[in-house]
Amino acid sequence: MKHVNTIIIGAGQSGLAMSAQLITRGIDHVILERGQIANSWRSERWDSLYLLSPNWMNGLAGKAYDGPNCDGFMHVSELVFRFDQTAAAMSAPIQTETTVLSVNTSPTGYVVQTDQGAMTCTNVVMANGACARSNVPGFATNLPQTMHQFTPQNYKRPDDLPDGKVLVIGASASGQQLAREIQASGRQTTLAVGTHLRFPRTYRGKDIMMWLDVIGATSVSHTEVDDIARVRRTPSLTLVADDTIDLNTLQNEGVEITGRLAAVQDGTALFSGSLSNLCEVADLKMNRLLTSVDEWIEDNGLGTLVPASERFEATRVPTAPKLKLDLAREGFKAVLWATGYEPDFHWLNLPVFDRKGRLIHDGGVVSDGLYAMGLPYMRQRQSTFLNGAQSDAAALAAHLGARIGQPLAA
């Protein structure tokens, strides 16, 4: 049975970032990838997707973006191309088309069983990410049998949808972007809105991601957060490339909004009456952030060098949002569950989960020789960003190196 020092599971941004660190440290390792490099980006994204982060944030494996448009936004096909280029340039030891079946302890550390055979190792880095599978509620089975169901992982384009109305569940980045796209295709779309965030694409002349970066909002350590469990449940940033999207712009384009989907009974979708409160909270959080940006600008003497501060129209809420929809009777033919994602560790046969099945870790350190990468707010808010993988990998590689007796300064 082959033995390597470290097995990395997953060849996305986190896997490549960790591999780059281990190569620098001279630590023997292999990356196991269930499909091709960047498999989720390659095969589980919709056709029109552009990254929500500007290109200057989209370096891979410690290398900065080197293209011609630092402030532009990259289509997912270009990102996949850059993954392939990066992996080849660093000679990453990737074993593709290899599915992990189980991970157990062994006398030398761990044994990883795959569909291509078994390997033993001293360390395992689980870099298969936070978006392994769509988080679809159990009551989805109560939808009418004639209803077509999609998630952002298997939806590709509006032409895949049947003619008729579409219900999109979830108002974070994926839900809002896809609701806009589907509405523009001529299908009347209703968006069920739960907890969400609201951000302008640009503020005071600069991209909002630049402001989040300079005020330190994306790099606060997990050790400095009061309630890390709550923060890790925070919705994703609601942004799209080159434009501002929010519930107001969607309503301007004809999308109907209603409250959080609470249940489906006998083919009828039931919604909570909390839409107004959820929108008020999103507006409040946005304005608090903009105030933090304003304060940073003034504290650093930049007030005369950028446009004046501004505030945006409050989210418009329908006077009487629908609390229930008889889906079949009202002409709905498809539901798109944009209700978030969850990691998949079903193959991990170790007592490292809490009572809700969530992985227990401290900044990515799970247990002796077992690490995780790419989870929400794993070490900082940018842990799930492309550029956030590098600093997380550096910290965990240092921990791993110390564990095997390597000096902290590699």
- pLDDT tens profile 240-294: 998 999 999 999 999 999 999 999 998 999 999 999 999 999 999 999 999 999 9
Residue 116 pLDDT: 97
Verify that 193 and 328 share a domain, yes or no.
yes
Among 337, 291, 362, 277, residue whose Cα is nearest residue 151: 337
Torsion over CA: 351, 357, 362, 364 (sign): positive
Which domain, by its residues, includes 230?
A: 134-337
DSSP run (H or E) holding 58: none
pLDDT of residue 106: 94
The verdict on 223 and 327 lying in the same domain is yes
Q: Do 168 and 228 sit in the same domain of this protein?
A: yes
Indicate if 242 and 355 belong to the same structural domain.
Answer: no
For residue 403, the number of C-alpha atoms closer than 13 Å in the C-beta half-sphere is 19
Residues 140 and 52 in one domain: no
If asked whether residues 112 and 247 sit together in one domain, one would say no
- In degrees and rounded to multiples of 5, residue 139 shows phi and psi of -75, 0
- What is the arithmetic mean of pLDDT over 348-365? 96
Would you say residue 410 lies in a domain? no
Q: Which amino acid is at 372?
A: A
pLDDT in tens, 332-354: 999 999 999 999 999 999 999 99
111-121: per-residue pLDDT in tens? 999 999 999 99
* Domains in the chain, number: 2
Residues above pLDDT 70, as percent of the chain: 99
Please enumerate in sequence order all residues whose Cβ is within 8 A of that of 193, keeping only pairs 6 or more positions apart, or say none: 171, 247, 257, 258, 259, 260, 275, 278, 279
Boundary (domain end) residue, out of 309, 337, 365: 337
CB-based burial, 77-107: b 16+ in 10 Å, e otherwise: eebbebbeebbeebebebeeebebeebeeee
Does 387 lie in the same domain as 310? Answer: no
Average pLDDT, the chain: 95
pLDDT higher than threshold 80 for residue 37: yes
pLDDT in tens, 68-105: 999 999 999 999 999 999 999 999 999 999 999 999 99
Q: How confident is the model at residue 236 (pLDDT cuts 50, 70, 90)?
A: confident
For residue 229, what pLDDT is reported? 86
Q: What is the pLDDT of residues 192-218, one digit of tens each?
A: 999 999 999 999 999 999 999 999 999
Q: Please check whether residues 57 and 167 belong to one and the same domain.
A: no
Q: Name the nearest CA neighbour of 46 among 172, 191, 154, 169.
A: 154
pLDDT at 242: 84
Contact call for residues 389 and 57 (beta carbons, < 8 A): no
Query: Cα-flanking dihedrals φ and ψ of residue 168, to 5°?
Result: -100, 125
394: three-class secondary structure by DSSP = helix
Whether the pLDDT of residue 375 is over 70: the answer is yes
Are residues 162 and 309 both part of a single domain? yes
Percent of the chain clearing pLDDT 90 (strictly above)? 91
How would residue 1 be classed by pLDDT, with cut points 50, 70 and 90?
confident
Taking the C-alpha atoms of residue 300 and residue 31, their distance in angstroms, rounded to an integer, is 44
pLDDT at position 140 is 94
DSSP 8-state class, residue 243: B
Q: How far apart are alpha carbons 71 and 73 in whole angstroms?
A: 7
Query: Are 73 and 179 contained in the same domain?
Result: no
Task: Give the C-alpha separation, 376 to 53, whole Å.
Answer: 16
Contact status, residue 410 vs residue 25, Cβ threshold 8 Å: yes
Is a pLDDT exceeding 70 seen at residue 172? Answer: yes
Residue 61 · residue 390 · CB < 8 Å: yes
Tokens representing residue 325 in the block: 């929809």
> What's the CATH code of the domain at 86?
3.50.50.60
Residue 299's pLDDT is what?
A: 97
Looking at residue 140, what DSSP letter applies? Answer: G
